[in-house]
Structure formats: C-alpha cells, structure tokens
C-alpha cells in the first residue's frame, strides 16, 4: 500500500509553469485576487488604448486580455510550447494558439500592443523571445512585460506560479529589453498582499495593495515594464563615403591664383 505523502495540486509542486497549473491557480480565491489586482494596474497603464488595435498576449495572458477584447480589432493569446495549450475564451470561438517562443507565427509589424505575462520567467531563451516580439510589433507599438520581482515575497514561494522560473529585478529586465532593441519608457509595480489563502488576508488585499504601492514599491510581487522599439538602434551605421566636389567651369583661372597653385 502507498504510504508516501498525500498528493498535492499541480500548482503547489516545484515545477515549471504550465497551462494546466496556471488555470488551476487562477480558479482559486488567491488566483482571483491576483487577477483583480493586476488587471487594475494594467488598465491604469493602458486605459482604453487598444481600441481598434491588434493585441497579442504572450505567455499565459488570458486572465488579463479581457480588458481589451471588446474594443480591439483582434486579440490573440499565444502560449509558448513549454507552457502548453489552453482554450480561450471559454464559451466562444477560440482566440488562442500554441507557438514556439523564438519563431512566432505572425507577420512582421503585425501587433500594436504586446502583453507578456507568465512568459519571461518561463522562457527557454528570453532574448530570442524578445527579439521575436520586436519583429511582430509595429514600429509605434508598445510592449508591457510583467515578471516576478526578484526581491518580492511571491518569487520566494513555490506554491504559486510566480515562484516558478526566473525572477527579475527591474534593472535586469531593462538590460534584457535593451539587448533586444527596446527602450523602457515606464515602470510600475503590483501585487503587495502576501500569498496567503486566508479569508481575512484576501479581504484586506485591496487596502494592502494601495498602501504597498506608496510605501514599499521595491518589495512588490510583480514588476511591470512598458517599452517601445528602439528603431534607431536597429539601423546599421552609415559607411563613410567619398564625395567628389564637382566645380562648374568658370573659365580661365585668375593669374594671381594660378601662381599660388603652381599652375603658371
């Protein structure tokens, strides 16, 4: 007879983030609290900006894409192969697909907005992923990266998806984005309540979020970085070219000038 430890749910195991674990997490009261708080920050950063635009959610972004689904021209949830497949939205024609993070199946300059959440920390190669995002994002488009904060409490707790994969400091994300030819234009933070499933903690979460955002921004659970394409960094340096000065024929050279040049 089996005498080992009792089985635990998939999101409480120390494992790489996958779609089923994420779906299970967001179906819990704790996951619902996270979704509400992060949606509020995203709505403040991109308030109604997606009207008539093309939006890509890369990683596991479906809990947040509903912010722009109604007004956007198109919204696509793209899940990297290592995360797995997940249908979205529920009860409607599917708008999700599974992709290779370093070979996105979209044309160049296709999206106006890209939201990367539950993606950077789970990436096999973060730089290649960001370069693909650069390719599919329009020149005037915007990228919003959501990642676990390296010094935040949520990155230290393996019982949530934010405790899986690679956490980042804002500076590390900035350097990654610069390497991928992006420029950070705005930073924000989110998720200050502790990762507790206790009812009183969940009720107090909005107040803790407001207070933490003011008094302890460095210790947020999540760091948010909005970036634009650094199109000038992608331009090759112009090679120096020889220029010939062509002078119009002005007639015979004056006598004084001819002596100075040794031509008389």
pLDDT for 238: 52
Pair type for strands 137-148 and 111-117: parallel
pLDDT for 51: 85
User: Is residue 54 within 8 Å of residue 111, measured between CB atoms?
Assistant: yes
Radius of gyration, alpha carbons of the chain:
26
Residues written for the chain: 264
pLDDT by position in tens, the chain (length 264):
333 333 333 333 334 478 999 999 999 999 999 999 999 999 999 987 788 999 999 999 999 999 998 889 999 999 999 999 998 888 777 799 999 999 999 999 999 999 999 999 999 999 999 999 999 999 999 999 999 999 999 999 988 999 999 999 999 999 999 999 999 999 999 999 999 999 999 999 999 999 999 999 999 999 999 999 987 776 554 544 444 434 344 444 444 444 444 443
CB within 8 Å of 38: residues ≥ 6 apart: 64, 117, 146, 190, 191, 222
pLDDT for 235: 59
pLDDT for 136: 97
What tokens does 262 get? 């040794």
All structural domains of the chain: 10-261 (3.40.50.150)
Residue with the two structure tokens 């015979």: 252
CB within 8 Å of 195: residues ≥ 6 apart: 30, 153, 154, 157, 159, 160, 162, 221
**Which residue in 171, 124, 180 sits closest to 150, CA to CA?**
171
Residue with the two structure tokens 């997490």: 25
């Amino acid at each position: 007879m089996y005498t080992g430890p009792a089985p635990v749910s998939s999101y409480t195991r120390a494992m790489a983030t996958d779609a089923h674990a994420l779906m299970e997490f967001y179906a819990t009261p704790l996951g619902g609290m996270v979704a509400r708080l992060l949606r509020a920050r995203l709505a403040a950063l991109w308030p109604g900006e997606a009207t008539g635009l093309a939006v890509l959610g890369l990683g596991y972004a479906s809990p947040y894409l509903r912010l722009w689904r109604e007004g956007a021209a198109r919204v696509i949830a793209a899940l990297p192969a290592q995360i797995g497949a997940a249908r979205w939205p529920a009860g409607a024609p599917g708008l999700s697909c599974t992709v290779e993070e370093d070979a996105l199946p979209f044309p160049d300059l296709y999206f106006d907005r890209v939201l990367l959440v539950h993606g950077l920390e789970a990436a096999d190669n973060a730089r290649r992923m960001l370069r693909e995002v650069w390719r599919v994002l329009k020149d005037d488009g915007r990228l919003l990266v959501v990642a676990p904060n390296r010094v935040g409490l949520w990155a230290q707790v393996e019982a949530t998806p934010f405790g899986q994969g690679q956490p980042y400091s804002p500076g590390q994300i900035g350097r990654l984005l610069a390497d991928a030819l992006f420029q950070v234009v705005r930073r924000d933070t989110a998720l200050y309540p502790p990762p507790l499933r206790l009812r009183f903690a969940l009720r107090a979460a909005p107040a803790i979020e407001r207070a933490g955002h003011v008094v302890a921004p460095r210790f947020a659970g999540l760091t948010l970085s909005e970036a634009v394409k650094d199109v000038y960094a992608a331009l090759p340096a112009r090679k120096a070219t020889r220029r010939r000065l062509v002078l119009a024929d002005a007639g015979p050279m004056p006598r004084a000038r001819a002596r100075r040049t040794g031509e008389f």
